[in-house]
Amino acid sequence: MIYCRTGSRSATIVKMLEDNYSFDNVYNLDGGIMRWREDVDKTLKEY
């Protein structure tokens, strides 16, 4: 699981790992930690 604040940078890294290094079990947290915070734990401090 790769994640960043919004999910865009981590999506780039996931694609690179899949395309260049044949990773097949790597995932991006869609929307990043900010969407996760919104959906799962609103008590997490926004940064």
pLDDT digits (tens, 9 = 90+) for 4-40: 999 999 999 999 999 999 999 999 999 999 999 999 9
Q: Which amino acid is at 3?
A: Y
**pLDDT band at 46; cut points 50, 70, 90:** confident
Query: Residue 47 pLDDT more than 90?
Result: no
Residues 6+ apart with CB under 8 A from 47: 5
Q: Residue 4's pLDDT is what? A: 98
How many alpha carbons fall within 13 Å on the CB side of residue 7?
A: 11
Gap between the Cα atoms of 43 and 36, Å rounded:
11
